[in-house]
Structure 1
Protein backbone atom coordinates (compact mmCIF):
# COMPACT_ATOMS: atom_id res chain seq x y z
CA UNK A 1 0.00 0.00 0.00
CA UNK A 2 1.40 3.35 -1.06
CA UNK A 3 2.15 5.83 1.65
CA UNK A 4 3.01 8.78 -0.69
CA UNK A 5 1.33 11.97 0.41
CA UNK A 6 -1.34 13.45 -1.92
CA UNK A 7 0.75 16.54 -2.82
CA UNK A 8 3.59 14.31 -4.05
CA UNK A 9 1.22 12.30 -6.19
CA UNK A 10 -0.13 15.54 -7.73
CA UNK A 11 3.38 16.65 -8.65
CA UNK A 12 4.29 13.32 -10.20
CA UNK A 13 1.29 13.39 -12.55
CA UNK A 14 2.52 16.32 -14.70
CA UNK A 15 6.08 15.00 -14.56
CA UNK A 16 4.96 11.65 -15.94
CA UNK A 17 2.99 13.40 -18.66
CA UNK A 18 5.99 15.57 -19.55
CA UNK A 19 8.27 12.56 -19.58
CA UNK A 20 5.88 10.67 -21.83
CA UNK A 21 5.79 13.54 -24.41
CA UNK A 22 9.28 14.89 -23.93
CA UNK A 23 10.21 14.46 -27.60
CA UNK A 24 7.17 16.39 -28.75
CA UNK A 25 7.83 19.13 -26.21
CA UNK A 26 11.48 19.30 -27.23
CA UNK A 27 10.51 19.62 -30.91
CA UNK A 28 8.05 22.43 -30.13
CA UNK A 29 10.62 24.30 -28.06
CA UNK A 30 13.22 23.90 -30.80
CA UNK A 31 10.82 25.27 -33.40
CA UNK A 32 10.01 28.23 -31.18
CA UNK A 33 13.70 28.91 -30.73
CA UNK A 34 14.26 28.85 -34.51
CA UNK A 35 11.32 31.22 -35.10
CA UNK A 36 12.60 33.63 -32.47
CA UNK A 37 16.08 33.57 -34.00
CA UNK A 38 14.69 34.34 -37.46
CA UNK A 39 12.63 37.23 -36.11
CA UNK A 40 15.65 38.67 -34.34
CA UNK A 41 17.98 38.30 -37.34
CA UNK A 42 15.54 39.45 -40.02
CA UNK A 43 15.92 43.21 -40.69
CA UNK A 44 12.84 45.37 -40.16
CA UNK A 45 10.82 46.20 -43.28
CA UNK A 46 12.15 49.21 -45.18
CA UNK A 47 9.98 52.32 -45.48
CA UNK A 48 8.31 52.64 -48.86
CA UNK A 49 7.48 55.59 -51.08
CA UNK A 50 4.84 55.98 -53.80
CA UNK A 51 6.16 57.04 -57.23
CA UNK A 52 4.78 57.44 -60.73
CA UNK A 53 5.78 54.95 -63.42
CA UNK A 54 4.89 54.69 -67.09
CA UNK A 55 1.71 52.68 -67.58
CA UNK A 56 2.92 51.67 -71.07
CA UNK A 57 5.71 52.47 -73.52
CA UNK A 58 5.64 56.23 -74.11
CA UNK A 59 7.24 58.42 -76.73
CA UNK A 60 7.80 62.17 -76.71
CA UNK A 61 5.26 63.00 -79.42
CA UNK A 62 2.48 64.28 -77.16
CA UNK A 63 2.06 65.74 -73.65
CA UNK A 64 1.49 63.28 -70.82
CA UNK A 65 -2.05 62.43 -69.75
CA UNK A 66 -3.34 60.92 -66.51
CA UNK A 67 -3.76 57.53 -68.23
CA UNK A 68 -0.08 57.43 -69.22
CA UNK A 69 1.10 57.08 -65.61
CA UNK A 70 0.32 54.77 -62.72
CA UNK A 71 1.41 54.83 -59.04
CA UNK A 72 3.76 52.21 -57.60
CA UNK A 73 5.22 51.64 -54.13
CA UNK A 74 8.98 51.13 -53.94
CA UNK A 75 11.46 50.84 -51.09
CA UNK A 76 12.76 54.33 -50.36
CA UNK A 77 16.32 53.16 -50.98
CA UNK A 78 15.33 52.17 -54.53
CA UNK A 79 13.64 55.45 -55.46
CA UNK A 80 15.84 57.46 -57.88
CA UNK A 81 16.55 61.14 -57.30
CA UNK A 82 13.95 63.43 -58.79
CA UNK A 83 11.25 60.74 -58.92
CA UNK A 84 7.73 62.11 -59.27
CA UNK A 85 5.01 61.15 -56.80
CA UNK A 86 1.24 61.18 -57.38
CA UNK A 87 1.17 64.56 -55.63
CA UNK A 88 3.36 66.11 -58.36
CA UNK A 89 1.92 67.70 -61.49
CA UNK A 90 2.80 65.58 -64.52
CA UNK A 91 -0.22 65.69 -66.82
CA UNK A 92 0.33 68.22 -69.60
CA UNK A 93 4.12 68.01 -69.45
CA UNK A 94 6.16 66.58 -72.30
CA UNK A 95 8.85 63.91 -72.32
CA UNK A 96 12.27 64.68 -73.73
CA UNK A 97 12.92 61.01 -74.59
CA UNK A 98 10.96 57.75 -74.87
CA UNK A 99 10.09 55.93 -71.63
CA UNK A 100 9.56 52.18 -71.21
CA UNK A 101 6.56 50.67 -69.41
CA UNK A 102 7.24 50.46 -65.67
CA UNK A 103 10.05 53.04 -65.75
CA UNK A 104 10.02 55.50 -62.86
CA UNK A 105 9.28 59.00 -64.09
CA UNK A 106 11.87 61.55 -62.95
CA UNK A 107 12.28 65.27 -63.53
CA UNK A 108 15.18 64.52 -65.89
CA UNK A 109 12.72 62.86 -68.29
CA UNK A 110 10.45 65.89 -68.48
CA UNK A 111 10.51 68.92 -70.71
CA UNK A 112 8.50 71.60 -68.98
CA UNK A 113 7.02 74.01 -71.58
CA UNK A 114 8.02 77.52 -70.47
CA UNK A 115 4.54 78.96 -71.10
CA UNK A 116 2.65 76.24 -69.21
CA UNK A 117 2.40 78.17 -65.90
CA UNK A 118 0.33 80.81 -67.75
CA UNK A 119 -2.22 78.32 -69.10
CA UNK A 120 -2.46 74.98 -70.87
CA UNK A 121 -3.28 76.73 -74.16
CA UNK A 122 -0.25 79.02 -74.04
CA UNK A 123 2.89 78.63 -76.15
CA UNK A 124 6.25 80.41 -76.08
CA UNK A 125 6.56 82.88 -78.96
CA UNK A 126 9.80 84.68 -79.94
CA UNK A 127 9.13 88.27 -81.01
CA UNK A 128 11.76 90.49 -82.64
CA UNK A 129 11.16 94.05 -81.45
CA UNK A 130 12.49 96.88 -83.59
CA UNK A 131 13.75 98.94 -80.63
CA UNK A 132 16.51 97.09 -78.69
CA UNK A 133 16.38 99.79 -75.99
CA UNK A 134 12.81 98.88 -75.14
CA UNK A 135 13.73 95.21 -74.86
CA UNK A 136 16.55 96.17 -72.51
CA UNK A 137 13.91 97.39 -70.05
CA UNK A 138 12.22 94.00 -69.92
CA UNK A 139 12.81 91.01 -67.67
CA UNK A 140 11.02 87.68 -67.12
CA UNK A 141 7.64 88.42 -65.58
CA UNK A 142 7.16 91.79 -67.29
CA UNK A 143 3.86 92.18 -69.10
CA UNK A 144 3.71 93.81 -72.50
CA UNK A 145 1.48 94.73 -75.42
CA UNK A 146 2.93 93.99 -78.84
CA UNK A 147 2.14 96.57 -81.52
CA UNK A 148 2.67 96.39 -85.27
CA UNK A 149 3.19 99.45 -87.48
CA UNK A 150 3.19 99.25 -91.26
CA UNK A 151 3.64 101.66 -94.13
CA UNK A 152 3.99 101.20 -97.87
CA UNK A 153 4.69 103.36 -100.89
CA UNK A 154 2.09 104.05 -103.55
CA UNK A 155 3.33 101.13 -105.66
CA UNK A 156 3.14 98.47 -102.96
CA UNK A 157 6.88 98.41 -102.32
CA UNK A 158 8.74 98.34 -98.99
CA UNK A 159 7.46 100.61 -96.21
CA UNK A 160 8.49 104.26 -96.67
CA UNK A 161 6.33 106.00 -94.09
CA UNK A 162 4.86 104.77 -90.81
CA UNK A 163 1.22 103.80 -90.63
CA UNK A 164 -1.02 103.58 -87.57
CA UNK A 165 0.12 100.95 -85.09
CA UNK A 166 -2.27 98.13 -84.26
CA UNK A 167 -2.23 95.96 -81.19
CA UNK A 168 -1.45 92.35 -82.08
CA UNK A 169 -1.49 90.91 -78.54
CA UNK A 170 -2.15 92.58 -75.23
CA UNK A 171 -1.05 92.05 -71.65
CA UNK A 172 1.20 89.08 -72.30
CA UNK A 173 3.94 87.90 -69.89
CA UNK A 174 7.60 87.96 -70.83
CA UNK A 175 9.19 84.52 -70.41
CA UNK A 176 12.78 85.40 -71.27
CA UNK A 177 14.98 88.01 -72.90
CA UNK A 178 17.56 85.92 -74.80
CA UNK A 179 21.01 87.52 -75.09
CA UNK A 180 22.03 88.43 -78.59
CA UNK A 181 25.24 86.67 -79.66
CA UNK A 182 26.65 88.89 -82.35
CA UNK A 183 24.71 90.66 -85.11
CA UNK A 184 21.58 88.80 -86.13
CA UNK A 185 21.19 90.52 -89.49
CA UNK A 186 17.54 91.21 -88.74
CA UNK A 187 17.86 94.26 -86.48
CA UNK A 188 16.07 94.85 -83.23
CA UNK A 189 16.17 92.50 -80.27
CA UNK A 190 14.45 89.26 -79.37
CA UNK A 191 11.99 88.70 -76.54
CA UNK A 192 10.11 85.51 -75.63
CA UNK A 193 6.48 85.93 -74.57
CA UNK A 194 3.57 83.61 -73.72
CA UNK A 195 0.65 83.75 -76.14
CA UNK A 196 -2.06 81.53 -77.60
CA UNK A 197 -1.48 79.60 -80.81
CA UNK A 198 -3.79 82.01 -82.67
CA UNK A 199 -1.86 85.01 -81.38
CA UNK A 200 1.41 83.31 -82.37
CA UNK A 201 0.16 83.04 -85.96
CA UNK A 202 -0.88 86.69 -85.94
CA UNK A 203 2.55 87.75 -84.66
CA UNK A 204 4.29 85.68 -87.35
CA UNK A 205 2.19 87.31 -90.03
CA UNK A 206 2.91 90.86 -88.83
CA UNK A 207 6.62 90.11 -88.42
CA UNK A 208 7.03 89.74 -92.19
CA UNK A 209 5.66 93.16 -93.10
CA UNK A 210 5.61 95.29 -89.94
CA UNK A 211 7.85 96.83 -87.35
CA UNK A 212 6.99 95.32 -83.99
CA UNK A 213 7.22 97.33 -80.79
CA UNK A 214 6.15 96.81 -77.20
CA UNK A 215 4.50 98.89 -74.52
CA UNK A 216 5.32 97.84 -70.98
CA UNK A 217 2.49 97.25 -68.50
CA UNK A 218 4.55 96.13 -65.52
Structure 2
Protein backbone atom coordinates (compact mmCIF):
# COMPACT_ATOMS: atom_id res chain seq x y z
CA UNK A 1 0.00 0.00 0.00
CA UNK A 2 1.28 3.41 -0.87
CA UNK A 3 2.26 5.94 1.79
CA UNK A 4 -0.70 8.16 0.84
CA UNK A 5 -3.15 5.32 1.35
CA UNK A 6 -1.75 4.46 4.77
CA UNK A 7 -1.95 8.11 5.85
CA UNK A 8 -5.56 8.33 4.68
CA UNK A 9 -6.53 5.33 6.78
CA UNK A 10 -4.96 6.96 9.86
CA UNK A 11 -6.52 10.39 9.39
CA UNK A 12 -10.09 9.57 8.32
CA UNK A 13 -11.24 7.99 11.63
CA UNK A 14 -10.28 11.21 13.46
CA UNK A 15 -12.40 13.29 11.11
CA UNK A 16 -15.28 10.90 11.53
CA UNK A 17 -15.05 11.00 15.30
CA UNK A 18 -15.01 14.83 15.29
CA UNK A 19 -18.06 14.98 13.03
CA UNK A 20 -19.99 12.59 15.27
CA UNK A 21 -19.05 14.61 18.35
CA UNK A 22 -20.29 17.81 16.71
CA UNK A 23 -23.57 16.13 15.78
CA UNK A 24 -24.06 14.79 19.30
CA UNK A 25 -23.31 18.21 20.84
CA UNK A 26 -25.76 19.89 18.48
CA UNK A 27 -28.44 17.36 19.38
CA UNK A 28 -27.89 17.88 23.09
CA UNK A 29 -28.21 21.63 22.63
CA UNK A 30 -31.51 21.19 20.79
CA UNK A 31 -32.83 18.92 23.56
CA UNK A 32 -31.77 21.40 26.27
CA UNK A 33 -33.42 24.30 24.45
CA UNK A 34 -36.63 22.29 24.10
CA UNK A 35 -36.68 21.44 27.81
CA UNK A 36 -36.15 25.12 28.75
CA UNK A 37 -38.90 26.23 26.38
CA UNK A 38 -41.36 23.71 27.85
CA UNK A 39 -40.39 24.69 31.41
CA UNK A 40 -40.74 28.41 30.73
CA UNK A 41 -44.08 27.85 29.00
CA UNK A 42 -45.38 25.96 32.01
CA UNK A 43 -44.12 28.69 34.37
CA UNK A 44 -45.80 31.38 32.29
CA UNK A 45 -49.17 29.67 32.76
CA UNK A 46 -49.08 30.80 36.40
CA UNK A 47 -51.94 30.85 38.86
CA UNK A 48 -55.52 31.75 37.86
CA UNK A 49 -56.79 34.87 39.63
CA UNK A 50 -59.77 37.20 39.29
CA UNK A 51 -59.08 40.62 37.76
CA UNK A 52 -61.28 43.57 36.85
CA UNK A 53 -62.41 43.51 33.23
CA UNK A 54 -62.81 47.32 33.25
CA UNK A 55 -62.33 50.31 35.55
CA UNK A 56 -64.66 49.94 38.56
CA UNK A 57 -65.86 52.54 41.06
CA UNK A 58 -66.25 52.15 44.84
CA UNK A 59 -69.73 51.15 45.94
CA UNK A 60 -70.32 49.03 42.86
CA UNK A 61 -72.01 45.66 43.37
CA UNK A 62 -69.95 43.25 41.27
CA UNK A 63 -71.47 41.32 38.38
CA UNK A 64 -70.01 38.75 35.99
CA UNK A 65 -69.44 41.48 33.38
CA UNK A 66 -67.08 43.30 35.76
CA UNK A 67 -64.66 40.41 36.22
CA UNK A 68 -62.54 37.93 34.32
CA UNK A 69 -59.85 35.39 35.14
CA UNK A 70 -56.19 35.71 34.18
CA UNK A 71 -53.01 33.73 34.81
CA UNK A 72 -50.32 35.41 36.91
CA UNK A 73 -46.95 34.31 38.18
CA UNK A 74 -47.67 32.63 41.52
CA UNK A 75 -44.74 34.46 43.13
CA UNK A 76 -46.29 37.83 42.23
CA UNK A 77 -49.86 37.09 43.38
CA UNK A 78 -50.70 39.07 46.56
CA UNK A 79 -52.18 37.59 49.71
CA UNK A 80 -55.97 37.48 49.88
CA UNK A 81 -56.39 37.18 46.12
CA UNK A 82 -59.88 36.17 44.98
CA UNK A 83 -59.44 32.92 43.07
CA UNK A 84 -62.92 32.44 41.57
CA UNK A 85 -65.40 34.87 40.02
CA UNK A 86 -68.31 33.32 41.93
CA UNK A 87 -66.60 34.25 45.21
CA UNK A 88 -66.81 37.96 44.31
CA UNK A 89 -70.22 38.20 42.66
CA UNK A 90 -72.71 40.33 44.60
CA UNK A 91 -70.04 41.89 46.82
CA UNK A 92 -69.60 45.65 47.07
CA UNK A 93 -66.32 47.31 46.15
CA UNK A 94 -64.76 49.45 48.86
CA UNK A 95 -62.33 51.31 46.57
CA UNK A 96 -61.62 51.98 42.89
CA UNK A 97 -60.18 49.10 40.86
CA UNK A 98 -58.39 49.53 37.53
CA UNK A 99 -58.98 47.28 34.54
CA UNK A 100 -56.67 44.28 34.81
CA UNK A 101 -56.01 44.80 38.53
CA UNK A 102 -56.00 41.66 40.69
CA UNK A 103 -58.99 41.58 43.03
CA UNK A 104 -58.21 40.95 46.70
CA UNK A 105 -60.40 40.48 49.75
CA UNK A 106 -59.64 43.96 51.15
CA UNK A 107 -61.22 45.51 48.04
CA UNK A 108 -64.58 44.07 49.11
CA UNK A 109 -66.81 45.06 52.00
CA UNK A 110 -66.62 42.31 54.58
CA UNK A 111 -64.84 41.03 57.68
CA UNK A 112 -61.40 40.91 56.06
CA UNK A 113 -61.66 44.59 55.13
CA UNK A 114 -62.82 45.53 58.63
CA UNK A 115 -59.95 43.56 60.15
CA UNK A 116 -57.40 45.21 57.87
CA UNK A 117 -58.78 48.71 58.50
CA UNK A 118 -58.94 48.41 62.29
CA UNK A 119 -56.01 46.07 62.81
CA UNK A 120 -58.04 43.61 64.85
CA UNK A 121 -60.12 40.54 64.12
CA UNK A 122 -62.75 42.01 66.48
CA UNK A 123 -63.99 44.59 63.96
CA UNK A 124 -67.23 45.37 62.16
CA UNK A 125 -68.39 47.66 59.36
CA UNK A 126 -71.24 50.03 60.29
CA UNK A 127 -73.31 52.11 57.84
CA UNK A 128 -74.25 55.63 59.01
CA UNK A 129 -75.99 58.63 57.53
CA UNK A 130 -74.42 61.89 58.68
CA UNK A 131 -76.56 64.74 59.98
CA UNK A 132 -74.63 67.10 57.70
CA UNK A 133 -74.96 65.51 54.27
CA UNK A 134 -72.20 67.75 52.92
CA UNK A 135 -69.63 65.94 55.05
CA UNK A 136 -70.00 62.83 52.93
CA UNK A 137 -68.56 64.76 50.02
CA UNK A 138 -65.46 65.74 52.00
CA UNK A 139 -64.32 62.44 53.45
CA UNK A 140 -62.64 59.70 51.48
CA UNK A 141 -61.91 56.00 51.84
CA UNK A 142 -59.01 55.55 54.23
CA UNK A 143 -59.75 58.67 56.31
CA UNK A 144 -59.81 58.40 60.10
CA UNK A 145 -62.71 60.08 61.86
CA UNK A 146 -64.20 60.45 65.33
CA UNK A 147 -67.91 59.65 65.55
CA UNK A 148 -70.15 61.86 67.68
CA UNK A 149 -73.83 62.11 68.44
CA UNK A 150 -75.53 65.45 69.01
CA UNK A 151 -78.68 64.28 70.75
CA UNK A 152 -82.03 63.27 69.38
CA UNK A 153 -82.58 64.46 65.82
CA UNK A 154 -86.30 64.90 66.58
CA UNK A 155 -85.86 67.20 69.58
CA UNK A 156 -86.59 70.83 68.67
CA UNK A 157 -87.95 72.26 71.94
CA UNK A 158 -84.62 73.13 73.49
CA UNK A 159 -83.05 76.20 71.90
CA UNK A 160 -79.61 75.40 73.32
CA UNK A 161 -77.34 73.34 71.08
CA UNK A 162 -77.16 69.73 72.25
CA UNK A 163 -73.92 68.53 73.80
CA UNK A 164 -71.85 66.26 71.60
CA UNK A 165 -71.08 62.79 72.88
CA UNK A 166 -68.09 60.85 71.57
CA UNK A 167 -69.17 57.41 70.40
CA UNK A 168 -65.94 56.22 68.80
CA UNK A 169 -62.48 57.53 68.04
CA UNK A 170 -60.34 56.72 65.02
CA UNK A 171 -62.98 54.98 62.93
CA UNK A 172 -61.73 54.01 59.48
CA UNK A 173 -63.79 55.14 56.49
CA UNK A 174 -64.00 52.14 54.19
CA UNK A 175 -66.64 53.39 51.75
CA UNK A 176 -68.54 56.56 50.91
CA UNK A 177 -71.56 55.70 48.79
CA UNK A 178 -71.52 57.47 45.41
CA UNK A 179 -73.80 60.44 44.92
CA UNK A 180 -77.11 59.34 43.38
CA UNK A 181 -77.59 60.15 39.71
CA UNK A 182 -81.36 60.59 39.79
CA UNK A 183 -83.35 63.67 40.80
CA UNK A 184 -84.02 64.48 44.42
CA UNK A 185 -81.79 64.58 47.45
CA UNK A 186 -80.72 61.37 49.14
CA UNK A 187 -78.37 61.06 52.08
CA UNK A 188 -75.18 59.21 51.21
CA UNK A 189 -74.25 56.26 53.37
CA UNK A 190 -70.80 56.21 54.93
CA UNK A 191 -69.36 52.84 55.94
CA UNK A 192 -67.11 52.90 59.03
CA UNK A 193 -64.88 50.11 60.35
CA UNK A 194 -64.82 49.94 64.14
CA UNK A 195 -64.07 47.50 66.98
CA UNK A 196 -67.20 45.56 67.92
CA UNK A 197 -68.17 47.54 71.08
CA UNK A 198 -67.90 50.92 69.35
CA UNK A 199 -69.61 49.56 66.24
CA UNK A 200 -72.60 48.51 68.33
CA UNK A 201 -72.80 51.90 70.04
CA UNK A 202 -72.68 53.78 66.75
CA UNK A 203 -75.26 51.51 65.12
CA UNK A 204 -77.66 51.91 68.05
CA UNK A 205 -77.23 55.68 68.28
CA UNK A 206 -77.76 56.15 64.55
CA UNK A 207 -81.34 54.88 64.91
CA UNK A 208 -82.45 57.74 67.17
CA UNK A 209 -79.75 60.42 67.18
CA UNK A 210 -78.04 62.68 64.70
CA UNK A 211 -74.56 61.42 63.83
CA UNK A 212 -71.61 63.54 62.76
CA UNK A 213 -67.87 63.03 62.42
CA UNK A 214 -64.71 65.04 62.89
CA UNK A 215 -61.73 64.36 60.65
CA UNK A 216 -58.25 63.58 61.94
SS at match of 1:150: strand
Deviation at 1:120, TM superposition (A): 4.6
Instruction: Determine if the alignment matches structure 1 residue 192 to structure 2 residue 191.
Output: yes
Instruction: Determine if the alignment matches structure 1 residue 75 to structure 2 residue 46.
Output: no
Task: Go from structure 1 to structure 2 and tell me whether the alpha carbon gap of 1:149 and 1:196 turns closer, same or farther (over 3 Å shift).
Answer: same
**When you count helix as a share of all residues, which structure comes out higher?**
2
User: For the Cα contact (< 8 Å) 2:136–2:176, is it kept in 1?
Assistant: yes
SS at match of 1:75: helix
User: For the Cα contact (< 8 Å) 2:142–2:173, is it kept in 1?
Assistant: yes
SS at match of 1:41: helix
| TM-score, scaled to structure 1 | 0.52
User: For the Cα contact (< 8 Å) 2:152–2:210, is it kept in 1?
Assistant: no
State the match for 1:39 in structure 2.
28
Q: Which structure 2 residues correspond to residues 50-61 of structure 1 after superposition, within 5 A? A: none
State the match for 1:132 in structure 2.
133
SS at match of 1:192: strand
Task: Go from structure 1 to structure 2 and tell me whether the alpha carbon gap of 1:124 and 1:98 turns closer, same or farther (over 3 Å shift).
Answer: same
Unaligned runs of 5+ in 2: 48-69, 88-99
Bigger Rg, structure 1 or 2: 1
Aligned length: 166
CA RMSD of aligned residues (A): 4.5
Distance of 2:214 and 2:103 partners within structure 1: 37
SS at match of 2:194: strand
| TM-score, scaled to structure 2 | 0.52
Q: Which structure 2 residues correspond to residues 52-201 of structure 1 after superposition, within 5 A? A: 74-76=42-44, 78-79=45-46, 83=72, 85-86=74-75, 89-90=78-79, 97=85, 108=102, 110-113=104-107, 115=113, 116-121=116-121, 122-151=123-152, 159-161=155-157, 163-181=162-180, 182=182, 188-201=187-200
SS at match of 2:72: coil
Task: Go from structure 1 to structure 2 and tell me whether the alpha carbon gap of 1:197 and 1:48 turns closer, same or farther (over 3 Å shift).
Answer: farther
User: For the Cα contact (< 8 Å) 1:176–1:192, is it kept in 2?
Assistant: yes
Unaligned runs of 5+ in 1: 1-7, 50-73, 100-105, 153-157
